Structure 1
């Protein structure tokens, strides 16, 4: 890692972790960065930790959970996230059925694991079951945050009455695996850059800055068209009112052919070792052409870069950085 003194610009090795799509990084009060993401085989959930972000590349991994042999949670384990809520660890993830094949991927539901150990690399992960939503339909990419002592869930789901693959929803929670009120749609694919290949809003991640709450999300197919969009609201507003939220009409982070970075998306947010610089962790490929279904190309690597903030308090994502090794 290098730190440039005048701007506190932090730079990391790129890629950071190989073949880990949908990367999630959480920096805990114990000083460790905890990392998880989708493995290429989509068959288990693993966790690693390091006191530095660069250290995640070589960190020892621990398998938290493996898919079931049959029935629910038995195929296509996608996009795990680790959260610390109420003194316990939780992992949100999406899973499908054994009967699902590569020709019928999109029947995922969201599930939750719980671990009471102070160190989530140890202890036992207990299945808390499926997150029940308004419809029994394709649902994935659950994330959670707290505002004014209310725990919220944000996720992607297919509304059977709306054309497309997934929209973004928010709801309060009564506990880390149960919604505590009706879900509200925050965004659906409406701009052309959200509808290439598939009509997708997914992979939400939350960051707070200057009294505002920002939600990044991913749009379009998982090839070079994948990109990030942005929603935001005032932190004092009613977050369950769709009118409280604004949406960028243009993507905020896109493929950069000059830098050799394709399909950047499905990010998380953390903070640098200096405790001040906001960091975005995301995946992208280093090539454009893909043979077969992009979901089965394993080379979506986890990457990290600093983001800055403009005078209006809006995030500046910049460009995907070129590979350093």
Structure 2
């Protein structure tokens, strides 16, 4: 199929795309980290020019008042849910931010309309830094996978899974599936975050991102059988090597924090991810706005998904840290 023009959306890190009844819905981290916005289009390549609808803004004070990160939009039991990370301040405790996971709910058919209701914090049983929640349904059970810090394990975040009682409440004790342990997961920061779930054949895969948010950022992968006990850490195998990394030849650096969707044919799998196309970053790369949302088709082999390499941008991208208007206009 034809190559997807990239970026699909400018200056949106942590991109999440879901295709529902022929429409693509997109969200991601807003550069000011102060709101959650959605846009929709019938084609991935049209998302950049689509209207951006702000559906929620941070509180003035309290646990949802700072650093709104990585919203994800999910369709669960005929309702829409958004999971996101938020903090009570911009500061850090023991070199780690103070985020927790929160949930919004909307009963409308179109998530850009209707009323979003705050369902509050997702209690994980651990009162530590947590973020990047994603959800999936399998064999009649709903699961949550997310990143969270364990103060007894070196690093900032590990990956956990639990079965859900409802979309904002866990039914089981969290089980750790992965922690930063390989060299490629521990560059600048020891991090496993940004999980995304895809199934194919008789297996389920969880991709995740690791290390700092600069060129070192890369994706790893966990694999389990579909009929396995997903709440048993022994059911999962972890790739010792990254599965998607910087492609310096194409000037594509630090790809990661991906999601999965389908192409317009409803069959071909598509990976959506963020990436930068330069390395000259002034200051903390976390706050540099030019992580662009891109998409590429993936293929399958006997060992699982074949991601290839991030391909060069085919559309204009900014070269300064100025935050663009939502439509990306730069004239």
- What's the TM-score, normalizing by structure 1? 0.95
Q: CA-atom RMSD, angstroms?
A: 1.3
The farther-off stretch of 104-113 and 44-53 is: 104-113
Q: Distance in 2 between matches of 1:104 and 1:75?
A: 17
Q: Secondary structure at the match of 2:249?
A: coil
Q: Report Cα offsets for 1:253-311 as digits up to 9, x if no partner.
A: 0001100100000000001011121000000001012110011100000000011001x
Look up the match of 1:316: 306
Bigger shift: 135-144 or 97-106?
Answer: 97-106
Is residue 246 of structure 1 aligned with residue 237 of structure 2? yes
Name structure 2 gaps, 5 residues minimum.
Answer: 316-331
Specify the SS of the correspondent of 1:182: coil
**1:102 and 1:48 mapped to 2: Cα distance?**
34
User: In 2, distance between residues paired with 1:17 and 1:87?
Assistant: 27
* Number of residue pairs the alignment of both structures matches: 315
Q: Is the contact made by 2:90 and 2:97 (CA closer than 8 Å) also made in structure 1? A: no
CA contact (8 A) 1:264 1:284 kept: yes
Residue equivalent to 1:6: none
When the two structures are superposed, what TM-score results if normalisation uses the length of structure 2? 0.93
Q: Distance in 2 between matches of 1:138 and 1:42?
A: 17
> What does residue range 1-325 of structure 1 map to in structure 2 within 5 Å?
3=1, 10-28=2-20, 30-98=21-89, 100=91, 106-310=97-301, 312-325=302-315
CA distance in structure 2 between the aligned counterparts of 1:166 and 1:122, rounded to whole angstroms: 34
Question: Whole-Å Cα distance in 2 between the matches of residues 98 and 198 of structure 1?
Answer: 21
For residues 149 and 192 of structure 1, the distance between their equivalents in structure 2, rounded to whole angstroms, comes to: 37
Distance (Å, rounded) in 2 between the aligned partners of 1:291 and 1:53: 31
Aligned-pair distance for 1:313?
4.7
Conserved? CA contact 1:42–1:78, under 8 Å: yes
Contact 2:67 2:90 in 1 (8 A): no
- Paired with 2:283 and 2:93, the residues of 1 have a C-alpha distance of 11
Q: Is this contact kept in 1: 2:203–2:224, CA < 8 A?
A: yes
Separation of aligned partners in 2, 1:146 and 1:24: 17
Residue 258 of structure 1 aligns to a residue in which SS? helix
Q: Alpha-carbon deviations, 1:99-146, whole Å to 9, x = none?
A: 637996611000000001111111110000000012100000000001
For the residues of structure 1 that align with 2:62 and 2:109, how far apart are their CA atoms? 31
Q: What residue in structure 2 maps to residue 7 of structure 1?
A: none
Question: Helix, strand or coil for the counterpart of 1:264?
Answer: strand
SS at match of 1:54: helix
Structure 1 runs, 4 residues or longer, greater than 2 Å off = 98-105
On the 8 A contact 1:209/1:313 being kept in 2, the answer is: no
